[in-house]
């Protein structure tokens, strides 16, 4: 596959801190991949949620200094966009076949083969988490670990199907209209940051709203249709060979999905982190809540933050204060027990 793929490399330094965009031609259509960092390092592959891309789904996490130092010190980042979700994407021809979720997962293996990557770490949000989980089930030997944010693993429920039907009709008839954006923002964020009549919406919501304006409605509709017809992959979770770290905001519409998925994974090698007063896209709304669990998780693979930054008050962990035996694969299963983080943006939210 790697030999038959073509790629166009476009300099994107003015857009994303030195990252470069590669358009990888796969058997299921072109895929935009933003590569950031030293390609000699292990690979971290990301995949965003519906209507988002790396700028609107992962920027908050990678702009968080402590998280950036952990991830960028250890990995080269490969931000994969769903078809037509990359920055400046043109509208996909309506006559083109809508890809299935299997097609999207198979695109990832072609991307890995193009860059000659072996086993990779994966990070996905909601729809992106589903695609990466499906990829891990189909290509188990190519995945080191999964970091999933508000993930899905079941087929769409009647409630989700109805909600998606509303969004599909809005996309088809009205495009990226105001009501459609409100539906998406409700999917992504908690009411604390979406604001109200008395409280203005937060900067991250305003930024996301502006980035949604750039999406082509037909491209979003195609990804939504793929996710709407997704199969239940719960049984496949038992075949996963990698460790899995799951984050979910307690106010996420997909909270129960994340709990269900965690219950089906091997508890020795998985953990659920619930973030209080947060919606689905924890990477944007409360990225700092992800730091310590990720740090413990990655220590099991021998990845650490640079020593000069290990004294950060927000991240008390450092290799010198962790007993070596706790970092063995056997012990990691016991350490990664289901936990809850109690991170609140507003003290009043703890009274719910």
Burial grade of 128 (CB within 10 A; 0-12, 13-18, 19 or more) = buried
pLDDT interval class at 141 (50, 70, 90):
very high
Model pLDDT, residue 18: 62
Distance of CA 176 to CAs 81, 203, 212, 216, 339, Å?
18, 20, 8, 7, 38
Flag whether pLDDT at 348 surpasses 50.
no
pLDDT interval class at 306 (50, 70, 90):
confident
Looking at the chain, the whole-number percentage of residues with pLDDT higher than 70 is 82
CB 50 within 8 Å of CB 220: yes
Model pLDDT, residue 106: 97
Cα(187)–Cα(80) distance, integer angstroms: 21
Enclosing H/E stretch for 173:
helix 158-174
Flag whether pLDDT at 338 surpasses 70.
no
Listed residue (169, 167, 185, 175) closest to 218, CA to CA: 175
For the chain, domain boundaries = 20-300
Distance of CA 268 to CAs 226, 271, 302, 336, Å?
32, 8, 18, 7
Flag whether pLDDT at 207 surpasses 90.
yes
Please write the tens of the pLDDT for every residue from 32-72: 999 999 999 999 999 999 999 999 999 999 999 999 899 99
pLDDT interval class at 19 (50, 70, 90):
confident
* Three-state secondary structure call for residue 290: helix
User: Domain 20-300 adopts which CATH fold?
Assistant: Rossmann fold (3.40.50)
Q: Record the pTM.
A: 0.85
User: Which DSSP state fits 21?
Assistant: E
Q: Give the mean pLDDT of the chain.
A: 85
Flag whether pLDDT at 266 surpasses 70.
yes
Please write the tens of the pLDDT for every residue from 122-133: 999 999 999 999
Distance of CA 91 to CAs 26, 220, 288, 321, 331, Å?
18, 10, 35, 52, 49
Listed residue (105, 211, 210, 228) closest to 165, CA to CA: 228
Is the model more confident about 295 or about 322? 295
Listed residue (333, 330, 326) closest to 267, CA to CA: 333
Q: What's the start-to-end Cα distance of the chain, in Å?
A: 52
């Amino acid at each position: 596959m790697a030999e038959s793929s073509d790629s166009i490399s476009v300099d994107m330094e003015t857009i994303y801190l030195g990252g470069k965009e590669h358009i990888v031609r796969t058997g299921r259509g072109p895929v935009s991949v933003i590569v950031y960092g030293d390609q000699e390092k292990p690979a971290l592959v990301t995949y965003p949620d519906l209507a988002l891309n790396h700028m609107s789904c992962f920027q908050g996490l990678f702009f968080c200094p402590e998280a950036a130092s952990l991830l960028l010190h250890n990995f080269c980042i490969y931000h994969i966009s769903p078809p037509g979700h990359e920055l400046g994407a043109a509208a996909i021809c309506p006559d083109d076949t809508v890809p299935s979720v299997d097609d999207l997962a198979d695109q990832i293996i072609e991307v890995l083969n193009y860059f000659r990557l072996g086993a990779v770490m994966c990070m996905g949000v909601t729809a992106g988490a589903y695609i990466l989980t499906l990829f891990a089930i189909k290509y188990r030997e190519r995945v080191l670990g999964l970091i999933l944010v508000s993930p899905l693993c079941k087929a769409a429920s009647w409630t989700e199907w109805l909600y998606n039907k509303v969004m599909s009709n809005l996309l088809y008839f009205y495009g990226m209209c105001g009501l459609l954006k409100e539906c998406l923002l409700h999917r992504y964020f908690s009411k604390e940051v979406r604001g109200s009549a008395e409280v203005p919406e937060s900067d991250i919501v305003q930024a996301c709203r502006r980035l949604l304006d750039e999406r082509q409605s037909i491209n979003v509709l195609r990804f939504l249709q793929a996710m709407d017809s997704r199969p239940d992959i719960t049984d496949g979770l038992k075949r996963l060979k990698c460790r899995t770290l799951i984050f979910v905001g307690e106010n996420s519409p997909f909270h129960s999905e994340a709990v269900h998925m965690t219950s089906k994974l091997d508890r020795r090698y998985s953990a659920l982190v619930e973030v209080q007063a947060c919606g689905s896209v924890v990477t944007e709304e409360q990225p700092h809540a992800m730091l310590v669990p990720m740090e413990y998780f990655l220590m099991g693979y021998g990845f650490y933050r640079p020593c000069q930054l290990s004294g950060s008050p927000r991240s008390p962990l450092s290799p010198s204060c962790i007993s070596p035996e706790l970092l063995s694969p056997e012990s990691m299963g016991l350490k990664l027990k289901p936990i809850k983080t109690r991170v609140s943006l507003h003290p009043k939210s703890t009274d719910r």
